[in-house]
Chain A
Amino acid sequence: MNAVPKYDPLAFGEQALKLRTYRQQVLANNLANSDTPGFKARDINFADVLKSEMAGVTRSSGLKLASTNSAHLAGKVSIDDPKLLYRVPNQPAMDGNTVDGDIELSELTKNSVFTESTLTMLGGTIRSRMSAITGQPS
Chain B
Amino acid sequence: MSLLASFDIGASGLTAQAMRLNVTASNIANVESMSGPDGRPYRARQVEFSSIVKEGGPGAGVAVTKVIESNTPLRREYRPGHPKADSFGYVDMPNVNPVEEMVNMISASRSYQMNVEAMNVSRQLMLKTLDLGK
* A interface residues (Cβ-Cβ under 8 A, vs B): 17-18, 21-22, 24-29, 31-37, 39, 42, 80-81, 84, 101, 104-105, 108-109, 112, 115-116, 119, 122-123, 126-127, 130
A130 surroundings in chain B (CB, below 8 A): 133
B49 touches A25 (CB 8 A): no
Given A22-B2, A42-B58, A80-B56 in contact, is the A33-B49 Cβ separation under 8 Å? yes
Total A-B contacts with CB atoms under 8 angstroms apart: 118
Binding site for A on B (CB under 8 A): 1-3, 5-6, 9-10, 12-13, 16-17, 20, 49-51, 56, 58-62, 107-108, 110-111, 114-115, 117-119, 121-122, 124-125, 128-129, 131-134
Distance of A137 Cα from B29 Cα, bound (Å): 67
Q: What is the predominant secondary structure among interface residues of chain B facing chain A? A: helix
B114, A34: Cβ atoms closer than 8 Å: yes
10 closest Cβ contacts across the A-B interface?
Answer: A32-B13, A21-B2, A126-B133, A29-B59, A28-B6, A36-B49, A26-B58, A28-B9, A25-B6, A28-B118
